[in-house]
Structure 1
Amino acid sequence: MFENLSERLSRTLKNVSGRGRLTDDNIKDTLREVRMALLEADVALPVVRDFVKRVKERAVGTEVSKSLTPGQEFIKIVQAELEAVMGASNEDLDLSCQPPAVILMAGLQGAGKTTSVGKLGKLLKERQKKKVLVVSADVYRPAAIKQLETLASDIGIDFFPSSPDQKPVDIAKAALDHGKLKFYDVVIVDTAGRLHVDEEMMGEIKDVHQTINPVETLFVVDAMTGQDAANTAKAFDEALPLTGVILTKVDGDARGGAALSVRHLTGKPIKFLGVGEKTDALEPFHPDRVASRILGMGDVLSLIEDLERNVDKEKAEKLAKKFKEKKGFDLEDFRGQLQQMKNMGGMMGMMDKLPGMSQLPDNVKDQVDDKMFVQMEAIINSMTPGERERPEIIKGSRKKRIAMGSGTQVQDVNRLLKQFTQMQKMMKKMQKGGMKNMMRNMKGMMPGGGMFPGR
C-alpha cells in the first residue's frame, strides 16, 4: 500500500530536505508536487485542499524559519499533517461494557466483511484473550452462513448457527441471548451486504442495530475503491452511528487514497487494516506508523511487534544454542527460518516496514520474490531428515527425486543447495569472527548480492 504515493513524496521531499532556507517559491513548487502526488493516489479533493493549506500555513510560519534544518522541519510538518488527516493515534475497540460486548459489522458486498469477522475474532481471542462468538445475519447470500461457520472452525472460535429462512433481527437477538447465557466476552454479528446502498438494506441494518445495541459498529470497506470508500462510509454513517472503519485489501492497493480520505470525510477512525488473505492478516491502524511508511521511513515498531508475535522463541533459542556450541547450520534450520519469515508476511511484508526500502531500485525489488521462498520450502520438504541434516549426500538420483517431489526442476534444487552452502559459510564465519564478519557477509545475502540471484 502507498507504494506510488511513497515513491512520489520521497522524491519530492528529497529536493527540499537539504535546503538551508525555505522560500515561498521552493515551498510553492514542493506543495504543487505534494498536491499532485495525493491526487494521483486517489485522495479526495477536499482532503487534498485542506492538507496542502495546513502544511503551507505551518511551513511559511515561524516553525521552519527558526529551525537549523528547514528542509527536515518541512518533512516533519508533512508527516504531522498526514497523521492528523488519518487521526492522531490508534483508536482501539471500546469493549468496556457489561459482557458480552456486541460488535456489528456493516458494509457493501465483496468488501471482505465475513473474512474480517473471522480475522477480528481471531485477533480478540489471541491478543486480548476474549471468549468470542460469531454469527451471520446475512440471509440473502446462501454461502455466507456456511463461509463464516467454516472460518470460525478453522480459527477456533465459536459459531452461532442461523439459516436463510430466519429474519436478521431474530438471528442477532438469539445470538446475543446465547452470548449472555454462556458468558461470552464478545459477540460479533455479520450483516448482509448489497452491491450498492439501498433503502431496504439500511432499514434492515437499522433494525438489527436497534435490537442488539452494539458497543462498536464497524464499517468494512475495500481500500481498492479509493475515495469512493470514504463516500460509501459517509452514506452508512448517516443511517448508522458508526464507531470505526476496517479498511480491507490494503495489500492490493498501491495508491492509499482511501486511508487518507475516510477519517477526514466521515470523522470516523480507521481501527484496522486488512493486509492479506490469511486469518491473522489484520493490523491495528496506527496513523503515525502509516505516515512514516508513506514518507519512506519504514515502520520499525510494527516490525518488532510482528517479530515478538510470530517468532517461535523455543526454536530461536535452540538455534542460538546450536550456534553457541558451534554446531553446523543444516537445511532443517534453514527451513525453520523460511517458515518464520512466512509467518511475518514474507520478505516483501518485512521489507515494506524497513526504512528506505522505497528507495530501492525496481530491479532489486523484483529479485525479492516471495514465491521463491515458497519453492525453497517445498524443495526442503521433499528431502528426507537425513538429507536435511547432511546436504552433501544429495547427488544425481536424489536431486531428481527431490525435484519430482516438490514439482520443480533439478536446476532449482541445485540453486537452493548453492544458496544454502553460501549461507552455511557465512554462519561459520560469524561463529569465528562475531559481529564484524556477520556485517561484512550480510552484503552477500542481500538481493543482487549473490544470495538470491534473479530467476
Structure 2
Amino acid sequence: MFDNLSEKLDKALHVLKGHGQITEINVAETLKEVRRALLDADVNFKIAKEFTNTVKEKALGQDVLTALQPGQLMVKLVKDELTALMGGDVEGINLSGDPSVILMSGLQGSGKTTFSGKLASYLKTKKTKKPLLVACDVYRPAAVDQLLVVGEQIGVEVFSDRGNTDPVAISKAGIAYAKANGHNVVIIDTAGRLAVDEEMMNEIANIHKAIQPQETLFVVDAMTGQDAVNTAKAFNDILNFDGVILTKLDGDTRGGAAISIKSVVNKPIKFIGTGEKMDAIDVFYPARMAERILGMGDVVSLVERAQEQFDEEESRKIQKKIAKNQFGFDDFLSQIQQIKKMGSIKDLMGMIPGAGKALKGLDIDDDAFKHVEAIIHSMTPLERATPAKLDASRKKRIAKGSGRSIQEINQLLKQFDQMSKMMKMMQGGGGKKMMQMMGAMKGMQ
C-alpha cells in the first residue's frame, strides 16, 4: 500500500538533511520533489500544487518549532497537511433509523458486492447488529448468486426476488422484510455499470429517492487512481452521497484516490478494503494513513488488531508456560494462527515504524508460514511439547512427512529456540512483545 509514494516522499524529505535552518531555497527544493511524488501517485496537479504551497507557507512562517531539525519539522508539516487533505478526523457510519438503510453505489468491478458483505460482517461482529443484504442488481449475470454466496460465508441473510426486474420495488420489499424479521440494518447492493451513463444514474437516483437511506456510500477501486476521483464526482453530483469506500488498497495502488478524493467531493473516506477476505475491512483514519505513507508505521491500528484477535486467557496460559520453559510448538502454532487472523503479514509488518524500508522489495506471501505449519503438523504430540527430543531419526521422519528438508527443520528449531528465549525476556510487554515476535518470525520465511 503506497510503497512507491512512501519511498519518493522519503527521498524528497531527505533533501533537508544537513541544513542548519529552513530557508526558502531548500524548502522549495524539497517541495518540488514532494509535488513530483504526489503527481506520480496520480494526485490531481491542482491539488498537489495547493498542498505544497500550503506546506511551504507554514514552513517559512514557522517560529515555534525551531528546536527541531529542519527534516523533522518538514515531515511533521507534510504529515499534518496529508491528514487534513484526506479528511482530518475519522468519520463514523450513521446507524440511526429502524432499520438503518445503507445504499451501496459504484461502478461494476469496483468490489461493491464483496464490500457489501464485508460491511455486513463488520456491523454484525463489531457493532452487534443484525444486518440484511438486499440483492438489487438485476442486470449482471450471477450477481444475486454472488451475494448469496457472500451472505452464506459470513452468516448474514440475503433478500432477493429473482422474478422482479424493478430494483426500486426490490429495495422497498427488502426493507419491509427486514422490519418484519428483526433486522436492524439493511445493506442494499445496487447494479454497477462499466462506465457512468444516464440510465445508471437515473436508476440509482430513483432508488435513493424511494428509500431515503441513512447512509449512501460510494465504492471505488483505489487502483483506478484519478479516474476514481472523477467517477466519485459524477456520482456525488447525482446522489450527494455520505461517504467513500476505497477497495483494493492492498494491491499495487499509487494512492492518488485516497489522497485527493476528499478535497474533490468534500465527502469523507469511511472505510477501506485491504484484502480479499471478509474481515479485510478497516475504518479509515486519515492521521494513521498519513503516518503510514510517511513510513512512520501505525502502531495504534496494529495493537487494535492484536486486541481483537488475541485471547487474553490463552495469552496468560502461554506466559505461564514461557516462565516455566514449557513453551512448545503447539503454543507456537496457536500464535501463528492468531497473527494470520489479523490480516496480511506484509501489511502488519508495514504498521511497525521503520519496517517499510526493511520490507522494500521483499515479497511476503500470506501463506509464508505454510511450510512451518507443515513441519509442526508432522510432529507427534510429544515432539511438539518437548522440541529437545527431536533427534536425527525423528527429524528425518518429520522431513518426509512435511515435504521439507532436514536443513529447514534444523533452521526452524534454531529460530524457535531463539524466539522462546526472546519471549521469556519480554514477558509483560503486551503489544510490543507481539510486534517483536512477528519480527522474529519474519526470519523463518
Match of 1:377 in 2: 373
Counterpart CA distance in 2 for 1:88 and 1:17 is 28
Conservation of the 8 A alpha-carbon contact between 1:172 and 1:208: yes
Cα gap change, 1:126/1:15 in structure 2, threshold over 3 Å: closer, same or farther?
same
Which secondary structure does the structure 2 equivalent of 1:265 belong to? helix
Conservation of the 8 A alpha-carbon contact between 2:326 and 2:385: no
Work out which of the residue numbers 332, 335, 340 in structure 2 matches 1:334: 332
Match of 2:39 in 1: 39
Cα gap change, 1:188/1:404 in structure 2, threshold over 3 Å: closer, same or farther?
farther
Match of 1:50 in 2: 50
* 1:93 to partner: Cα distance: 0.6
Conservation of the 8 A alpha-carbon contact between 1:289 and 1:299: yes
Which secondary structure does the structure 1 equivalent of 2:216 belong to? strand
Counterpart CA distance in 1 for 2:65 and 2:321 is 55
* 1:427 to partner: Cα distance: 5.1
* 1:33 to partner: Cα distance: 0.6
Paired amino acid for 1:380: I
Match of 1:386 in 2: 382
Instruction: Count how many residue pairs are aligned between Structure 1 and Structure 2.
Output: 440
Which secondary structure does the structure 2 equivalent of 1:105 belong to? strand
Counterpart CA distance in 2 for 1:168 and 1:250 is 30
Which secondary structure does the structure 1 equivalent of 2:134 belong to? strand
Which secondary structure does the structure 2 equivalent of 1:417 belong to? helix
Q: Report matched runs for 1:234-313 at 5 Å.
A: 234-313=233-312
Which secondary structure does the structure 2 equivalent of 1:217 belong to? strand
Q: Report matched runs for 1:172-251 at 5 Å.
A: 172-251=171-250
Paired amino acid for 1:329: F
Paired amino acid for 2:383: E
Q: Give the CA RMSD over aligned residues.
A: 2.7
Cα gap change, 1:288/1:443 in structure 2, threshold over 3 Å: closer, same or farther?
closer
Normalised to the residue count of structure 1, the TM-score between the two structures is 0.89
Conservation of the 8 A alpha-carbon contact between 1:90 and 1:271: yes
Which secondary structure does the structure 1 equivalent of 2:103 belong to? strand
Match of 1:74 in 2: 74
* 1:179 to partner: Cα distance: 1.3
Match of 2:108 in 1: 109
Counterpart CA distance in 2 for 1:289 and 1:28 is 26
* 1:347 to partner: Cα distance: 3.2
Cα gap change, 1:371/1:49 in structure 2, threshold over 3 Å: closer, same or farther?
same
Counterpart CA distance in 2 for 1:233 and 1:46 is 17
Match of 1:350 in 2: 348
Q: Which runs of 5+ in 1 are unaligned?
A: none
Q: Deviations over 1:348-405 (max 9, x none)?
A: 2221111122332747x45x65433132123323433233223344456655654555
Which secondary structure does the structure 2 equivalent of 1:102 belong to? strand
Conservation of the 8 A alpha-carbon contact between 1:419 and 1:452: no
* 1:312 to partner: Cα distance: 1.9
Counterpart CA distance in 1 for 2:393 and 2:77 is 63
Cα gap change, 1:302/1:393 in structure 2, threshold over 3 Å: closer, same or farther?
same
* 1:91 to partner: Cα distance: 0.6
Paired amino acid for 1:224: M
Match of 1:121 in 2: 120
Which secondary structure does the structure 2 equivalent of 1:133 belong to? strand
Which secondary structure does the structure 2 equivalent of 1:190 belong to? strand
Cα gap change, 1:149/1:200 in structure 2, threshold over 3 Å: closer, same or farther?
same
Q: Report matched runs for 1:300-449 at 5 Å.
A: 300-324=299-323, 326-360=324-358, 362=360, 365=362, 370-394=366-390, 399=395, 402-403=398-399, 405-426=401-422, 430=425, 446=439
Which secondary structure does the structure 1 equivalent of 2:272 belong to? strand
Cα gap change, 1:34/1:151 in structure 2, threshold over 3 Å: closer, same or farther?
same
Counterpart CA distance in 2 for 1:170 and 1:408 is 58
Q: Deviations over 1:130-169 (max 9, x none)?
A: 1111111111123221121121122122221331643211
Which secondary structure does the structure 1 equivalent of 2:383 belong to? helix
Paired amino acid for 2:327: F
Q: Are positions 1:144 and 2:143 aligned together?
A: yes
Task: State, as a whole percentage, how many aligned pairs show the same letter.
Answer: 50
Cα gap change, 1:246/1:309 in structure 2, threshold over 3 Å: closer, same or farther?
same
Which secondary structure does the structure 1 equivalent of 2:219 belong to? strand
Q: Which runs of 5+ in 2 are unaligned?
A: none
* 1:40 to partner: Cα distance: 1.0
Paired amino acid for 2:23: T
